[in-house]
C-alpha cells in the first residue's frame, strides 16, 4: 500500500496557522500593536479603513529592523525572543512564537517599511498571499510601518463571515483599549476613515483611564495598591454606585498583558459583596505583576488566558486588597471601635449633679369657666398665662342659640333635610347575575392567571409587557409621531467616546421614540425631553442597556437599528418579575397583549402565555 501522509506546502500551512492567529481585523491590530511595543516604540499610530477590511496600518518610531530581519520576519517560527525552551517560562515581551506576520501575509496584501537608527536607508517589502512581490531599498523614517490591505482576499468564505463595519470596529476598539491601558508610557493615536477617534499622550495610569473612558470616570475610581512577595497589585476599581449592567469596563493586566480570568473576576465580585445591585457588575482596571516563571502564557492561541501556579493565593490577596481599598476610602461600611470625643461629658458638667425639673401647675384653671371667673383668678396665675392667653371663646350654650324657635314650629319635621349622593346609573343589562368578582389574579408576582372558555390562561407579565411596549415603540419610530415630555431640568449624561458614537448613530430613531437632545458630543449628552411614561431616573438605565445590546448584537443587513432600539427600550421599561400588580393593571396587560399583532411571543421570540384546557386539568385528578 502506498504512503498517504505528506508534508503540507508552506502557503497552505500558513493559511491554516492564520485561522488560529487571525480571526478578524481586530486580531491583526493586536499583533501589529504588540510588535510595535516590543520594538520599544514611544509613539504608535493605528490607521483603519472600512473597519479593517480595506486597510490596517500601524506606524511606530521603534528601533526598526535590518534588511535581513525584515525578510526573515515573514517566515514561520522566526522570532527574536526565544533561543531555548527555557525562555518560554520567563517571557517579558508580547509576541514570541513568530507566527503573526507569516499568518497575516498568507491571507492579505502586506507592505512593510522599516529602518534602523544607524542606517541611512530603509527597506520596503511587498507580500501578497505569502508570495514576496518585491524587496527594495527606500527612504523611510526610523521605525516600522506595516500596512495590511484586503484581508482574506484569497479566502472568500472567511471574508463573508465578517460582521458589519460597526461590529468589527467595536472589536478593533476593544483591542486598542487593552493595549493602550496596559502601556500608559506610550503615546497612541487611532484613526478610522480619516477621522481621529483617540489621541492619548504619554501619561500616568489614572490619566490614561480617564482619557479613554471619559472625564467623568475620574470621580468613579478608587485606587488599589498592594505589594507582597507573590504579587504586586496596582490600579483602580470603580465605586459601587457607578457599576454597570455590562462587563465592558473590566480589565486585568498581568505583566502588562491583557488577560481574561473568570476566577480572578470572582475575587473582585466577592470583594464587592453587598455593595452591588442584582445584575450589575463592578468596574476595575488592575495591573498584576508576578514572577514570569510562575505563569504560563502559551496555553491559548490569542494569549488572553494564563495559567497561574498558585491561583488560590492570588485570589485571596486580590480580594483582600480590593476590600481594603473600599473600606479605606469609606466606600464600604466598616466597624469603628474608636471612641468619639463628642460622646464624652463636657468638662464643666463632669462633677455636677443633675437638677430635677420643676413643674408649675395652675390648680384653679377651669376650661369651662366664663371670662368673669377668669378675672377673679389668682394674680399669680393671670400673670403666668397673660402672655399666652388665647381669645375668649363663647360658652357652650351659644351653640344652641336659634334652634329653639325652629323646634317650636316643627318639632320633628325633617322634610327639608337633603343629602348629596352620586347619580345612580341603571345597568344596560337586565341580567342581575353578572359577576363583579376579579377575573384575573397574580401568581408568585410573576404570572397573571385569567379564565377563558376552554380553561385557564397563564401569562408571563414581563414578556407580555415587553411585547406591548415593543410594538408601541416600533410604531412610533415607523410613523415618526412620538410624543415627548419636557424635563424641568436638562439631564446631562457622560459616556465613553465609543458609547457616544453608538448613541449618535441611533439619534434619529431615539428622537422618533420621544427623546429630545440639546447636545450630543463626545464629551457629554444633554437630554431635554423623554418619551411619555418614561421616568427621568430610568433614562440612563435605558441608554446603558441600549449600548450593551448594540455592542453585543449590532444589526446587520437583516435587522434594522429601529427594531433593536424598540427591543432594548421594551426590555428596560417592561414590568419586572416580582412586581405586584393590582387587578386593574393585570386586566390592562391582558387586554393590551391580545390587541398586539403577535401576542404569542415576546420580542425575543419566547412564549408570552400558555393555556390549560379543562380536560387537561380534569386528567390531573384521575
Query: Is residue 381 scored above 70 in pLDDT?
Result: no
- pLDDT band for 206, please (50, 70, 90 cuts): very high
Contacts of 259 (CB under 8 A, 6+ apart): 252, 253, 304, 305, 306
C-alpha grid cell for residue 590?
391582558
Phi/psi at 399 (nearest 5 deg)? -70, -20
Q: What is the pLDDT of residue 334?
A: 55
Q: What is the pLDDT of residue 439?
A: 77
Q: Per this entry, what is the length of the chain?
A: 622
Give the residue with greater pLDDT, 16 vs 249.
249
Overall average pLDDT of the 206-216 stretch? 88
Q: What is the pLDDT of residue 570?
A: 86
- CA Rg value for the chain: 38
Would you give the DSSP letter of residue 65? Answer: -
What is the three-class DSSP state of 602? coil
Range from 172-186, 325-339, 486-500 carrying the lowest mean pLDDT:
325-339
The distance between the two most distant Cα atoms of the chain, rounded to a whole number of Å, is: 139
Overall average pLDDT of the 592-613 stretch? 89
Q: What is the pLDDT of residue 557?
A: 41
Give the residue with greater pLDDT, 186 vs 393.
186
C-alpha 459/C-alpha 466 separation (Å) is: 12
Query: Is residue 486 scored above 70 in pLDDT?
Result: yes
Count Cβ atoms below 10 Å from residue 3 Cβ, excluding itself: 5
pLDDT, averaged across the chain: 80
pLDDT in tens, 63-80: 999 888 888 888 876 666
Q: What is the pLDDT of residue 333?
A: 60
What percentage of the chain reaches a pLDDT higher than 90? 23
Query: Is residue 56 scored above 90 in pLDDT?
Result: yes
Q: Is the pTM of this model over 0.95?
A: no
C-alpha 153/C-alpha 158 separation (Å) is: 9
Give the residue with greater pLDDT, 330 vs 436.
330
Instruction: Give CA angle at 266 (264, 267), nearest 5°.
Output: 65
Overall average pLDDT of the 197-224 stretch? 89
Contacts of 456 (CB under 8 A, 6+ apart): 449, 450, 611, 612, 617
Contacts of 252 (CB under 8 A, 6+ apart): 258, 259, 260, 261, 264, 265, 284, 286, 288
Overall average pLDDT of the 411-418 stretch? 57
Query: Is residue 524 scored above 70 in pLDDT?
Result: yes
Tell me: domain 10-200, CATH 3.40.630.10, correct? no
CA quadruple 614, 620, 621, 622: dihedral sign = positive
- pLDDT band for 207, please (50, 70, 90 cuts): very high
Range from 170-174, 404-408, 446-450 carrying the lowest mean pLDDT:
404-408
Query: Under CATH, which number does the domain 442-611 receive?
Result: 3.30.1370.100
Overall average pLDDT of the 339-367 stretch? 72
Q: Of the spans 35-39, 243-247, 439-443, 540-544, which averages the highest pLDDT?
A: 35-39
Task: Check if the beta carbon of residue 314 is closer than 8 Å to that of residue 111.
Answer: no
Give the pairing of strands 195-200 and 55-60: unpaired
Q: What is the pLDDT of residue 44?
A: 95
Range from 40-49, 375-384, 593-602 carrying the lowest mean pLDDT:
375-384
Contacts of 409 (CB under 8 A, 6+ apart): none
Q: What is the pLDDT of residue 293?
A: 81
C-alpha grid cell for residue 404?
329653639
- pLDDT band for 482, please (50, 70, 90 cuts): confident
Q: What is the pLDDT of residue 85?
A: 54
Q: What is the pLDDT of residue 309?
A: 79
Instruction: Give CA angle at 300 (106, 295), nearest 5°.
Output: 135
Q: What is the pLDDT of residue 92?
A: 59
pLDDT in tens, 359-374: 888 888 888 876 554 4
Range from 91-100, 309-318, 335-344, 370-379 carrying the lowest mean pLDDT:
370-379
Query: Is residue 163 scored above 50 in pLDDT?
Result: yes
Query: Is residue 98 scored above 60 in pLDDT?
Result: no
Overall average pLDDT of the 264-276 stretch? 89
Q: What is the pLDDT of residue 434?
A: 40
Nearest to 545 by CA among 499, 505, 512: 499
Count Cβ atoms below 10 Å from residue 539 Cβ, excluding itself: 19
Fold of 205-328: Ribosomal Protein S5; domain 2 (3.30.230)
Query: Is residue 336 scored above 60 in pLDDT?
Result: no
pLDDT in tens, 433-469: 444 345 788 888 899 998 888 888 899 999 999 999 8
CA atoms within 13 A on the CB side of 471: 16
Domain ranges of the chain: 10-200, 205-328, 442-611
Q: What is the pLDDT of residue 605?
A: 87
Nearest to 96 by CA among 39, 35, 146: 35
C-alpha 416/C-alpha 577 separation (Å) is: 57
Amino acid at each position: 500500500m502506498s504512503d498517504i501522509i505528506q508534508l503540507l506546502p508552506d502557503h497552505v500551512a500558513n493559511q491554516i496557522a492564520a485561522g488560529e492567529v487571525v480571526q478578524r481585523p481586530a486580531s491583526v491590530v493586536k499583533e501589529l500593536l504588540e510588535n510595535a511595543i516590543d520594538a520599544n516604540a514611544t509613539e504608535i499610530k493605528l490607521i483603519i479603513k472600512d473597519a479593517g477590511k480595506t486597510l490596517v496600518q500601524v506606524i511606530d518610531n521603534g528601533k526598526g529592523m535590518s534588511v535581513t530581519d525584515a525578510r526573515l520576519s515573514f517566515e514561520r517560527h522566526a522570532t527574536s525572543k526565544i533561543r531555548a525552551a527555557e525562555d518560554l517560562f520567563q517571557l517579558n515581551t508580547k509576541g514570541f512564537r513568530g507566527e503573526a506576520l507569516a499568518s497575516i501575509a498568507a491571507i492579505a496584501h502586506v507592505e512593510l517599511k522599516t529602518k534602523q537608527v544607524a542606517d541611512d536607508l530603509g527597506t520596503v517589502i511587498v507580500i501578497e498571499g505569502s508570495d514576496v512581490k518585491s524587496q527594495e531599498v527606500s527612504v523611510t523614517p526610523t521605525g516600522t510601518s506595516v500596512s495590511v490591505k484586503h484581508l482574506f482576499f484569497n479566502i472568500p468564505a472567511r471574508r463573508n463571515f465578517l460582521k458589519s463595519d460597526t461590529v468589527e470596529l467595536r472589536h478593533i476598539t476593544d483591542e486598542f483599549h487593552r493595549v493602550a491601558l496596559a502601556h500608559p508610557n506610550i503615546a497612541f493615536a487611532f484613526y478610522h476613515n480619516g477621522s481621529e477617534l483617540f489621541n492619548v499622550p504619554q501619561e500616568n495610569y489614572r490619566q490614561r483611564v480617564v482619557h479613554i473612558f471619559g472625564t467623568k470616570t475620574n470621580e468613579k475610581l478608587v485606587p488599589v495598591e498592594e505589594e507582597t512577595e507573590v504579587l504586586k497589585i496596582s490600579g483602580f476599581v470603580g465605586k459601587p454606585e457607578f457599576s454597570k449592567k455590562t462587563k465592558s469596563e473590566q480589565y486585568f493586566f498581568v505583566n502588562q498583558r491583557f488577560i481574561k480570568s473568570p476566577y480572578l473576576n470572582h475575587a473582585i465580585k466577592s470583594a464587592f459583596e453587598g455593595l452591588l445591585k442584582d445584575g450589575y457588575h463592578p468596574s476595575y482596571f488592575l495591573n498584576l505583576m508576578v514572577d514570569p516563571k510562575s505563569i504560563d502564557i502559551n496555553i491559548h492561541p490569542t494569549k488572553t488566558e494564563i495559567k497561574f501556579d498558585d491561583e488560590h493565593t492570588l485570589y485571596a490577596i486580590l480580594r483582600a486588597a480590593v476590600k481594603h481599598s473600599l473600606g479605606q476610602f469609606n466606600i464600604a461600611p466598616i466597624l469603628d471601635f474608636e471612641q468619639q470625643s463628642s460622646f464624652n461629658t463636657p468638662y464643666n458638667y463632669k462633677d455636677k449633679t443633675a437638677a430635677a425639673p420643676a413643674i408649675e401647675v395652675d390648680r384653679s384653671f377651669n376650661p369651662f369657666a366664663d371670662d368673669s371667673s377668669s378675672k377673679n383668678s389668682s394674680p399669680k396665675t393671670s400673670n403666668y398665662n397673660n402672655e399666652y392667653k388665647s381669645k375668649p371663646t363663647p360658652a357652650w350654650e351659644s351653640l344652641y342659640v336659634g334652634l329653639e324657635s325652629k323646634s317650636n314650629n316643627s318639632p320633628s319635621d325633617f322634610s327639608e333635610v337633603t343629602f348629596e349622593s352620586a347619580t345612580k346609573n341603571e345597568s344596560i343589562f337586565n341580567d342581575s347575575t353578572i359577576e363583579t368578582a376579579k377575573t384575573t389574579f397574580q401568581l408568585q408576582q410573576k404570572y397573571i392567571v385569567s379564565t377563558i372558555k376552554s380553561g385557564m390562561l397563564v401569562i408571563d407579565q414581563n414578556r407580555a409587557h415587553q411585547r406591548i411596549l415593543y410594538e408601541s415603540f416600533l410604531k412610533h419610530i415607523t410613523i415618526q409621531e412620538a410624543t415627548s415630555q419636557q424635563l424641568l431640568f436638562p439631564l446631562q449624561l457622560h459616556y465613553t467616546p465609543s458609547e457616544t458614537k453608538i448613541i449618535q448613530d441611533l439619534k434619529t430613531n431615539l428622537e422618533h421614540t420621544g427623546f429630545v437632545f440639546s447636545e450630543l458630543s463626545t464629551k457629554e449628552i444633554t437630554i431635554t425631553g423623554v418619551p411619555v411614561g418614561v421616568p427621568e431616573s430610568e433614562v440612563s438605565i435605558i441608554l446603558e442597556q441600549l449600548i450593551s445590546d448594540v455592542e453585543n448584537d449590532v444589526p446587520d443587513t437583516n435587522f434594522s437599528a429601529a427594531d433593536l432600539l424598540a427591543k432594548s427600550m421594551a426590555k428596560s421599561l417592561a414590568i419586572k418579575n416580582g412586581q405586584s400588580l393590582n387587578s386593574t393593571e393585570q386586566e390592562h396587560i391582558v387586554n393590551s397583549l391580545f390587541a398586539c399583532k403577535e401576542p404569542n411571543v415576546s420580542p425575543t421570540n419566547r412564549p408570552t402565555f400558555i393555556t390549560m384546557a379543562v380536560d387537561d386539568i380534569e386528567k390531573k385528578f384521575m
